[in-house]
A and B are shown apart, each in its own frame.
Chain A
């Protein structure tokens, strides 16, 4: 490692010394704590025999039992760099130990339905009694107040509630869903950032706080310009029709002020995205596809004309891409400064030149699940780069260590907890079947 006065050699990570008690499961909460774990926070994930992360039951390696719950792809992906313990929070002793951990933590994350944390006796006042300046991050889908606070929603529901689904779709067709449960990672990235803002605030004021990330609200901002645009339209248009207006917003791969689309390439179901902003960019496109005269064609003279003749534009581009691979098409266009890119299948994403060259993929070895590639930390720090330091925890893997080292329990006490059912070696399989 090189050294200069401005960037001394370092092996530390930004969040070293920050401890997080993680009561979250599935994706939204775990994606937030994963971001912080990647930056060096000590994240302790809590499960129990009767309340364990559902992702342990999905997509495990074939022929997995016994120990199937340690071999699920999705769980192991979302929980790298975390420690895992078991504690039955519904038992008095489990709650008491959880509060002892709170007393030694900086941040607690939970993504239960709005009323659950209170029923467990682990709401913000309870946590504050254990640690005055604790930061609690709650991530209920609908928030903790309002008439719909008891509703249940997953990430796909969140994009529907927030209005994004009403704006997504092929032209002339109905609303379309994202393939992923988009509400989850969106709320997770917001929650992680809010927790950091609270840490900064605490360092200056000594105060903790209770942050509420209602996943529904956390996504409305991603379509904020449409919220304003509809108000502008409604103010200017007597009897404005929201359904007609929403349909006009569903423009598929098109854009308000560019001409663009995805175009079929030579191979079956292979596509390249092409997006033209300026007149100069259009001129370069015409040169690359061997039709320089088109740059002077009245149909394409400026952006308004190009948008009016969008279908003809599409046909011209598709005629050129149709005899090429997506990589050839993208590279030829980019060499001339034209925005273009392959529409990558997952299989190709893992081999993509850019991601490979940037060292995006890291090989992870898991004691029960073997080796595979996953993305490294997306927050790329030049001086304190994060990496996958540990694979996801096996069920209850660090229970003994956390209770013994952190809380100072004796081996006998730890053994008794298992006998009492407060901790567990295996999840109850019946919970998620």
Chain B
């Protein structure tokens, strides 16, 4: 069986998280992704870490290793005329090029959609940036924090009496990458049908503003402001995170889950108590309900709570740590992690594909070392001679 994206070739001019996550997804599903890195330095995530034993090493950064599996790495200085020329020659044979530069920067580099389309009318150029290619913020400097802040979710996260809280890791950057992955495929699908490419643009701010659950529609639609404040870890007594004996658990019970929740808690008397008799009553008596929940949660472990949730089909889950994930029997049986051996960083267990496609490759290759594939890409795809390569290397282009 062939991998689902094995006929695609993608040129990747991105660095950091959003763009590389998008192209990692393409690569892990079989696309040939050629990652262009700056000579001598490489992707900024190579300097990010964490590193084994805390020792910085550009081939051992956890962030780089994770985000760049299955790709080929070439080094090219795209700011030089020769580098730009080689980029365009590579793009001529690609289905898509993924870019994370601001519009003004792409103008300066002369690497706009029109520049690529001039050498390849079918090409899709995917733009993934914080604020988009147009609009008053198009030239703004950005970080995960600014996308999280301007997407609306930041203000709603955290405790009412404290500052807004960013959630863990780099979720705004990852989301932009995930959405760019889909947008790229939609545009490629269209290009294959029509023979004409286009720009597929994803802005981090817009992605975050589009995943605001009830908060945005409720206000936009009803002009109700009741939900628009930070509510900490408890949306209600039965939607939140509770401490237990050995860590924390989460509960998310909708009205229809109430009978199962009572089974899991073994508190059937609550069904008869008028304070909790229906959803309206429970919301009115949320503090009383929370007090009951604390009584139960303070006497269980993560494992016990999860086991009861599973047995009675109540939405209760452990707040898993990274160690819990790697030790999970469920994930082990499903082979949710795959071992990948890297020449410098050694063998580790990496999360598997986010969607299981029966034709997706069971094994993927490790993240490339800087410029690992220069020779094969430049000679096989562009027919450069060994002498050409030596010359380009001496000029600092490769």
Contacts and interface: CB of A to CB of B under 8 A. Distances in A.
Contacts of A245: 322
A119 B156 CA distance: 40
A97 interface: no
A374 to B, nearest CB: 6
B21 to A, nearest CB: 8
B320 A166 contact: yes
Q: Which residue, of A152, A191, A432, has the highest number of chain B Cβ atoms within 10 A?
A: A152
Q: Which applies to chain A's interface (DSSP): helix, strand, loop or mixed?
A: mixed
Given A157-B252, A178-B157, A231 B326 contact: yes
Interface in A327-377: 334, 337-347, 349-350, 352-355, 357-358, 360, 369, 372-375
B239 interface: yes
A130 interface: no
Given A156-B252, A200-B188, A163 B321 contact: yes
Interface string B247-258: 111101011110
Contact of B315 (A157, A337, A342, A347): A157
B333 A273 contact: no
Interface string B192-214: 10101011111101110111111
B4 A201 contact: yes
B296 interface: no
B185 interface: yes
B313 A157 contact: no
B271 interface: no
5 contacts: A245-B322, A334-B141, A358-B203, A378-B203, A379-B200
Contacts of B217: 59, 73-74, 76-77, 372, 374
Q: Which applies to chain B's interface (DSSP): helix, strand, loop or mixed?
A: mixed
Contacts of B47: 257
B155 A218 contact: no
Given A170-B162, A225-B66, A344-B152, A360 B220 contact: no
Interface string B336-349: 11000000000011
A271 B152 CA distance: 12
Give the 3 A-B residue pairs with the shortest CB-CB distance, closest first: A167-B168, A193-B182, A77-B217
Interface stretch (A83-91, A202-210, A414-422): A202-210
Contacts of A175: 241, 248, 319
B228 A197 contact: no
B5 interface: yes
A298 interface: no
Interface in B111-133: 113-114, 117-118, 121, 131-132
B313 A152 contact: yes
Contacts of B315: 152-154, 157
B53 interface: yes
Interface string A153-185: 111111011111111111000111111111011
A192 B174 CA distance: 16
B221 A228 contact: no
A158 B251 CA distance: 11
B189 A200 contact: yes
A260 interface: yes
Given A349-B216, A380-B200, A257 B48 contact: yes
A160 B50 contact: no
A2 interface: no
B222 to A, nearest CB: 6
Q: Which residue, of A12, A176, A210, has the highest number of chain B Cβ atoms within 10 A?
A: A176
Given A151-B309, A231-B326, A433-B255, A213 B355 contact: yes
B292 interface: no
A197 B5 contact: yes
A154 B252 contact: yes
A277 interface: yes
B145 interface: yes
Contacts of A180: 153, 156, 211-213, 215
B80 interface: no
Contacts of B211: 31, 180, 182, 185
Interface residues on A, range: 35 or more
Contacts of A160: 241, 248-250, 317-320
Interface in B132-174: 132, 134-137, 140-146, 148-159, 162-169, 171, 174
B103 interface: no
B278 interface: yes
B43 to A, nearest CB: 13
Interface string A365-407: 0000100111100111111100000000000000000000000
A287 interface: no
B358 A176 contact: no
Nearest to B310: A151
A59 B178 contact: no
Given A354-B132, A381-B200, A193 B52 contact: no
A62 B178 CA distance: 37
Given A197-B29, A246-B322, A253-B166, A146 B334 contact: yes
B358 A249 contact: no
A186 B164 contact: no
B190 interface: yes
B213 A181 contact: yes
Interface stretch (A42-50, A232-240, A288-296, A305-313): A232-240
Contacts of B287: none
